[in-house]
Structure 1
């Protein structure tokens, strides 16, 4: 479980990150990353729609993505907002595939942040 300070919870923050953030996608997930000013804590939010599957499948995907996000935030506790959109293929993916796609998508989004000249990353 992510601590409250590490969760994106407001619709405006989701929208800002998706619209203005750097995007990187893989087979199972799309990651939007937006640097945060100063020494603000990193936050992560999740979008897991009904196209992923029934409630059981969606909750399983969310739990796995939360675990991957918690590991990322442990390594990078400050300066980034992430929004993770689960794609339909994520319902059939195992933990290894999902976490590998998460890590690669985050790396790609961070690379795009650097290329755009966003500060902090």
Structure 2
């Protein structure tokens, strides 16, 4: 379970994260990430729509995604806002596949955000 301090909760925070930063997608999930001051705690939010399945399936997908995100937050406790959108195939995906897709997206977004930080430090040259 993610502690309250590590959750994206407001619509404004969801919108800011989705509209800015980096994006990465796989078959089961699309992940949006934004960097913020290193002193601020990393936060994760989830979007699991009705197109994923019935309530039981959606809750199962959320629990699985939350479990992977909790491990990632433990390794990256500060500096990121992340929003995970589950796609319709996620409802039928098994646990290892969902985990692999989410971790791959997290790695890609971290690399993209790291590159944007380097560009800013070098004077805006990408």
Q: Which residue is equivalent to 1:25?
A: 25
Computing the radius of gyration from Cα coordinates, the structure with the larger value is 2
Q: Deviations over 1:6-56 (max 9, x none)?
A: 000010000000000200000100111101113111000000001101101
The alignment's TM-score, normalised by the length of structure 2, stands at 0.91
Hey, what's the Cα distance between the residues in 2 that align with 1:21 and 1:28?
20
Q: Which residue is equivalent to 2:11?
A: 11
Q: Deviations over 1:86-117 (max 9, x none)?
A: 00010111110001000000111111112323
Q: Which residue is equivalent to 2:123?
A: none
Hey, what's the Cα distance between the residues in 1 that align with 2:114 and 2:87?
25
Gaps of 5+ in 2: 121-126
Q: Which residue is equivalent to 2:108?
A: 108
Q: Which residue is equivalent to 2:124?
A: none
Q: Which residue is equivalent to 1:81?
A: 81
Q: Which residue is equivalent to 1:35?
A: 35
Hey, what's the Cα distance between the residues in 2 that align with 1:109 and 1:16?
16
The alignment's TM-score, normalised by the length of structure 1, stands at 0.94
Deviates more, 1:55-64 or 1:36-45: 36-45
Gaps of 5+ in 1: none
